[in-house]
Amino acid sequence: MFHPKGGSDYVGIWNDLYGSEFAERGVLVESGLRKGGVYRRAWKWALSKDREERAEIFSKLTGSG
């Protein structure tokens, strides 16, 4: 079963709405979109953070915090 660190946000939403198989497949598909590995590195980085860390980073990036 697929469980991103910290559980809920973009991948967590996929997991909640469509199940863990869909969420895992989505990460795998997006990770393979570009040869340079941009998406793969981005997913690896994002999933290394817990839910609160991702929320804090998102708030800073969007100016909503």
> Which residue from 23, 21, 28 is spatially nearest to 12, judged by alpha carbons?
23
> Are 54 and 47 within 8 A, CB to CB?
no
Residues in contact with 23: Cβ distance below 8 Å, sequence separation at least 6, in sequence order: 2, 4, 11, 12, 14, 15
pLDDT band at residue 13 using 50, 70 and 90 as cut-offs: confident
pLDDT band at residue 62 using 50, 70 and 90 as cut-offs: confident
- Residue 65 is predicted with a pLDDT of 61
| pTM of the complete model | 0.51
> 39 in a domain, yes or no?
yes
> 33 in a domain, yes or no?
yes
> 5 in a domain, yes or no?
no
Among 23-27, 36-40, 41-45, the least confident range: 36-40
CA-to-CA distance for 55 and 33, rounded, in angstroms? 25
> 2 in a domain, yes or no?
no
Which residue segment(s) compose the domain that 53 sits in?
A: 10-62
pLDDT band at residue 16 using 50, 70 and 90 as cut-offs: confident
H/E stretch holding 50 reads none
